[in-house]
Each structure stands twice: as C-alpha cells, then as structure tokens.
Amino acid sequence: MLRIEKLVKQYPTGDRALRGVDLMVPEGEVVALIGPSGAGKSTLIRCVNRLVEPTSGKIWLRDTEITALSARRLRQVRRRIGMIFQEYALVERLTVMENVLSGRLGYVNFWQSWFRRFPQHDVDQAFALLERVGLSDFVDKRADELSGGQRQRVGIARALIQSPDMLLVDEPTASLDPKTSRQIMRLITELARERGLAVIINIHDVPLAQLFVKRIVGLRAGEIVYDGPPEGLTPERLTDIYGEEDWGAGQAVAGADSAQEMDPEPSPIFAASTSNA
C-alpha cells in the first residue's frame, strides 16, 4: 500500500529531520509512530502527502510514485489520503457540516464549493459520518463552539469523507484529556479497520499506542530504531528511542514524555542530532 524508500528531509534551516527512512505499511494496517518530539514524526507523515517536500527518497502509494507527481496529479492523489491533526485544524468560523464537507473539496467544482451546493451523495455521507462520530446534534454549530474531543471528531469525519485509502494522523490526542484520548484513539482505529485503511498515527503516548495498535515504529533523530509489536517495547527498546529513563517506575511514560515536550533544554538525543547535522 504505502512504501517509503530512503526518505531524507533537510529543512532550509539545516535541520536534518529525516535521515533515510524506509517503511512499508500494507493495506489495512494501523501503525503507531512513536518518538521524542523533534524526532521527525510530523515531517515523515507530511512528506507522504507532500505538505513537506522531501529532499530525496521515494514514496509510493499503491503503484503511484507520490514523489514524482505534478502539482495537478498530486492534488488528485491527496484526495485519497485523509489527514487528522493535533490541534484539529478546523476552520473555526465555519459550521461543523461545512468543515466535514470541506473533505470533498478535491472532488467538487469551484462553484459547487462556493455556494455550498455539494452533491446529495456527499451530504448523505456527511450526515452518516457525523452520526457515526456522535455529532448528529451539532451539524449547524460553528466549529469554535465545540469542545476539543468534539472538534477532533469533526476532524475525523472530514478525513473520512474523502473516502481515503490511507490516513495520516498527527498526534490526535495530544491536546485531549486521558479519557477523551482513548475514545478518539478507539474511534480512529475502529473506523480504519472497518474501512480497511492503511494508517500512520504519530503519537507521544506510548501506553495509549500499545493499547490500540499492533505495530509500533520508533523514530529517533530521523531514523527508525524500532519496528515491531507493542509487547516488544522493553525498557531497553524505549531507552533506544527516547533516551535514558527509568521506564519501569510507575508506567510514567506518557508523563515523562509530555514533560520533555515542555522542557526548554534539548534532550541528549536531540542535541546529538543537531550537532551531527
């Protein structure tokens, strides 16, 4: 389904965010991509739909080479790749329905989108999806009136109405409370399995990833250092990915990780990667 070969991304600032990543995600598989902040998780998934232009390497979706597409063909391929964001990335001033229907923008013509005259089929699908994510009563509410969990549900519906083959999910739960986080993870993984989508989920929270996903890929300083089942994430493995920490103590992985995000000082791994660059 998705095949990434020797992907390298160097930002104009000199940061080498990805240093030769090889990754295969077969049809219907959900992969959690874990790693400390700055490891290159967001960069990796943004390279897949070329919101970030890779420096070198190849990416294939089925038999389309994404890295070789013209702007026009790229837009067509993007329609089949749904994306879900950490801060939801909804258009706050538009209604829930408009936000969901915006997932169809790649399919309708300009005037249909301008006058919000989407084909009946799209509207039916939008209603069905809103029902599925539990937002039937919020159709005409403005997105900025919703809670975080509700906004993320709109984000999910927007991604799914694209009828994607693949989902790219960037830290879907990082701004949510623990209970909502689990609900959102459950929703995403369930919907993905129902529809047989290939999914890459970037996630900070290792226990949460272990709970919902059968394959975990660990990224450190732009390189894959772990690829295997959740059970294989031993303390040694976690040290490989995140650096030294007492992983046994109180299962505090998520806490330690989010503390690291706040930490103004770069972690040792991060420091090493920048000095190499």
Partner 1 sequence: MAELTASPVTSRRWRKPPLIRNPWLRWGLLIGALIYLAVAISSVPVDDARIARGLERGGRMISSFLRPDFASRWYDIQIGVLESLTMTVVSTVAGVLLSVPVGLGAARNLVSAPIYLACRSIITISRTFQEVVIAIVFVVMFGFGPLAGVCTLAFATIGFMAKLLAEDIEEIDPAPLEAIRATGAGWLKTVTYAVMPQVSARLVGLSVYRFDINLRESAIVGIVGAGGIGSTLQTTFNRYDYDVAAAILLIIIVLVMTTELVSGHIRRRLQ
At 60, list the tokens: 């294939």
Is position 223 an interface residue for ligand ADP (rule: CB under 6 A)? no
Identify the CA nearest to 150 among candidates 137, 162, 161, 168: 137
Enumerate the H helices of the chain as residue ranges: 41-48, 71-78, 96-101, 110-114, 120-132, 148-160, 178-195, 206-212, 235-242, 253-262, 268-276
- Site for Mg ion, rule CB under 5 A: 42
Is position 13 an interface residue for ligand ADP (rule: CB under 6 A)? yes
Please, which residue, 139 or 225, has the CB nearer to Mg ion? 225
- Site for partner 1, rule CB under 8 A: 49, 51, 75-79, 81, 83, 85, 87-94, 98, 102-107, 110, 113-114, 155, 158, 162
| The one segment of 8-16, 64-72, 102-110, 158-166 that binds ligand ADP by CB under 6 A | 8-16
Query: Taking phi first (over 0 means left), then psi (-120 to 50 degrees means alpha), and beta for anything else, what does residue 5 get?
Result: beta
Identify the CA nearest to 106 among candidates 150, 73, 149, 136: 73
Pick what 136 binds: partner 1, ligand ADP, Mg ion, none; C-beta below 5 to 8 Å, kind-dependent. Answer: none
Please, which residue, 24 or 105, has the CB nearer to partner 1? 105
Please, which residue, 106 or 266, has the CB nearer to partner 1? 106
Question: 90 with 142: CB under 8 angstroms?
Answer: no
Question: 196 with 167: CB under 8 angstroms?
Answer: no
Among 23, 42, 156, 253, binds ligand ADP (CB under 6 A): 42
Query: In angstroms, what is the minimal distance from the CB of 86 to Mg ion?
Result: 7
Is position 220 an interface residue for ligand ADP (rule: CB under 6 A)? no
Question: Of all helices (H) and strands (E), which one includes residue 167?
Answer: strand 166-170
Q: 223: which strand partners?
A: 220
Please, which residue, 91 or 271, has the CB nearer to partner 1? 91
Pick what 17 binds: partner 1, ligand ADP, Mg ion, none; C-beta below 5 to 8 Å, kind-dependent. Answer: ligand ADP
DSSP secondary structure of 48-76: HTTSS--SEEEEEETTEEGGG--HHHHHH
| The one segment of 13-21, 100-108, 184-192, 238-246 that binds ligand ADP by CB under 6 A | 13-21
Among 6, 11, 119, 232, binds ligand ADP (CB under 6 A): 11
* Cα–Cα distance, 253 to 237 (Å, whole number): 13
Query: In angstroms, what is the minimal distance from the CB of 106 to partner 1?
Result: 3
Which residues of this chain interact with ligand ADP, rule CB under 6 A? 11, 13, 15, 17, 35, 37-43
